[in-house]
Amino acid sequence: MEKLNLTAPPPALAASPTDQPPPKPAATAEQAARRRARYQDVGQRPGTLRVRPDAPPPRLFLIIYDANSFDEEEYTGRYDEMLEVLRAQPGRHYWLDVRGYGDLPLLERIMSNFDLHPLQMEDVLNDYQRAKVEVFDDNRLFLVSRMADFTTELEIDDDQLSIFTGPNYVLTFQDDYEDCLEVLRNRLRVANSQLRQRSSGYLAYALTDVVLDHYYPTMAAVGDYIEELEDSIFGAQRERRLLNRILRVKKDVVRLRRLVYPERDKIAEVLRLPDEVIPEDLKVYYRDCYDHAIQALDLAESYRDNISSLADLFLSDQSNRMNEVMKVLTIISSIFIPLSFVVGLYGMNFQHDDGHGHVLPLNMPELYSPLGYPVLLAVLGLIVAGQIFYFWRKGWLSSND
């Protein structure tokens, strides 16, 4: 495979797919496909490149800029033409954004043209790497970030963003067509913007910063959802599956926390790099990015504690409600126990005489009393009234709400 030579003619390129991508599969199906791909890599030679069967075909977006000019175009299916454009403008900065991994030969050509290591390209295609930074030849950087979003299905969806830096370029890879980087593209489109006046290393920092800043609206959505769950616990209308919702968002908060932790460590490692790799004037911006990571991590820790407390609160509230129900049932049972005893006692039906006309006075003479039934009802009523009065004096009939 040839390396990118801005003076040599480009090699022939097989036609790349230009069809529109299939609909993005459900999160569960996507996770299952990633697990299968991960298991298939077990025992393979390091640097073996694999592409998931459901990966969308790649789309190539190129932005070429300098302090006074800006050009933006999609080169999907026109890789050779894009190389000609880059060779014709060696003095300008550019950002090549590759979205989709469904064409392995094209990805291998990009890896060769930009002199990427096979192990790094393997990390790109695996698409489940934690946030990290690596330094390779000529003080170039390889950074991995995780873009997070709180979806309409109330789940945390994260995608990998792989960033390669060069002397005058930034190369990014992502598995999906949608991302959170449009705000950065808009900043590049503004004339005389700071992005267009700084080096490609500054653009790599800006990509990392935008990804990290996008955690905040995601966390805000999670926080609003947690408050909604808290209101549901104390509200009059309680959902039967409220505990399932609490446990699901707890899992999302733990996942969000696992995304922020490596991001903080990655930025800390960037700050420890020598000035030949990251100039001191650029480290100032990374320090600010590190502060953002610390704040995001604090929010994630706070949400984890809140959702754990919310689960305990829900279980405690359910226990209190069960106690209230059991109290009512216990009071009802306590009232009917003596009544059942009296009724059962007089329901034994022993004989009044011995069959020869001799009366047996000890065998319930009250059964033959003309006022026995009303007297028994009156006694039962007095027992009930006495028990209710006793329970009332003890405060057992009052509600705890």
pLDDT of residue 23 exceeding 50, the answer is no
| Predicted pLDDT at 153 | 61
Domain membership of residue 61 (yes or no) is: no
Mean pLDDT for the chain overall: 81
CA distances from 87 to 61, 84, 98, 106, 394 (A): 16, 5, 19, 18, 92
Phi, psi for 70 (deg, rounded to 5): -155, 130
Domain membership of residue 360 (yes or no) is: yes
**Token pair for 23:** 């609909």
pLDDT of residue 18 exceeding 60, the answer is no
| Predicted pLDDT at 338 | 87
Q: Decide which of 328 and 154 is more confident.
A: 328
Closest-CA residue to 233 (of 321, 324, 314, 309)? 314
In angstroms, the CA 102 to CA 53 distance is 8
Task: Give the number of other Cβ atoms within 10 Å of residue 382's Cβ.
Answer: 10
Domain membership of residue 43 (yes or no) is: no
Closest-CA residue to 136 (of 118, 159, 109)? 118
pLDDT of residue 111 exceeding 50, the answer is yes
Q: How many structural domains is the chain composed of?
A: 1
Domain membership of residue 367 (yes or no) is: yes
| Predicted pLDDT at 266 | 92
Tell me the per-residue pLDDT of 151-187, one tens digit each, with 9 for 90 and over.
Answer: 666 677 788 999 999 888 999 999 888 888 999 999 9
Domain membership of residue 139 (yes or no) is: no
pLDDT of residue 31 exceeding 70, the answer is no
Q: Decide which of 41 and 143 is more confident.
A: 143
Closest-CA residue to 250 (of 293, 207, 199, 313)? 313
Using a 10 angstrom Cβ sphere, with 0-12 exposed, 13-18 middle and 19 or more buried, the burial of residue 213 is middle
Domain membership of residue 390 (yes or no) is: yes
| Predicted pLDDT at 3 | 46
Query: Tokens 């991001």, residue?
Result: 263
Q: What is the arithmetic mean of pLDDT over 16-31?
A: 43
Q: Which residues pair with 298 in a beta bridge?
A: none
**Token pair for 191:** 């004339």
Taking CB atoms within 8 Å and a gap of at least 24, the contacts of 383-391 are 383/338, 383/339, 383/342, 384/335, 384/339, 387/334, 387/335, 387/338, 388/335, 391/331, 391/334
| Predicted pLDDT at 64 | 93
In which element (H, E) is residue 236 found?
none
Do residues 114 and 166 make contact, with C-beta atoms less than 8 angstroms apart? yes
In angstroms, the CA 135 to CA 132 distance is 10
Tell me the per-residue pLDDT of 361-372, one tens digit each, with 9 for 90 and over.
Answer: 777 777 777 887
Domain membership of residue 388 (yes or no) is: yes
| Predicted pLDDT at 332 | 86
pLDDT band for 216, please (50, 70, 90 cuts): confident
Q: Decide which of 351 and 117 is more confident.
A: 117
Closest-CA residue to 107 (of 192, 228, 14, 214)? 14
Tell me the per-residue pLDDT of 223-247, one tens digit each, with 9 for 90 and over.
Answer: 888 888 878 777 655 666 787 888 8
**Token pair for 326:** 């059991």
In angstroms, the CA 100 to CA 93 distance is 23
Pairing mode, strands 156-165 and 70-74: unpaired
Tell me the per-residue pLDDT of 292-319, one tens digit each, with 9 for 90 and over.
Answer: 999 888 888 888 888 888 878 777 877 8
Q: Which residues pair with 186 in a beta bridge?
A: none
pLDDT band for 25, please (50, 70, 90 cuts): very low
Q: What percentage of the chain reaches a pLDDT higher than 90?
A: 25
Secondary structure class of 14 (helix, strand, coil): coil
Domain membership of residue 375 (yes or no) is: yes
CA distances from 361 to 364, 368, 395 (A): 7, 11, 44
- Strand order from edge to edge, sheet including 132-136: 70-74, 59-65, 93-99, 169-174, 156-165, 140-150, 132-136
In angstroms, the CA 162 to CA 179 distance is 12
Q: What is the arithmetic mean of pLDDT over 325-329?
A: 85
Q: Which domain holds residue 351?
A: 346-394
What DSSP string describes 70-109?
A: EEEEE-TT-HHHHHHHHHH-TTSEEEEEEE----HHHHHH
pLDDT band for 83, please (50, 70, 90 cuts): very high
Q: What residues contact residue 347 under an 8 Å CB cut-off, 6+ apart?
A: none
Using a 10 angstrom Cβ sphere, with 0-12 exposed, 13-18 middle and 19 or more buried, the burial of residue 116 is buried
pLDDT band for 269, please (50, 70, 90 cuts): very high
pLDDT of residue 5 exceeding 70, the answer is no
Number of H helices, E strands in the chain: 11, 7
In this structure, the chain runs to a length of 401
Do residues 105 and 242 make contact, with C-beta atoms less than 8 angstroms apart? no
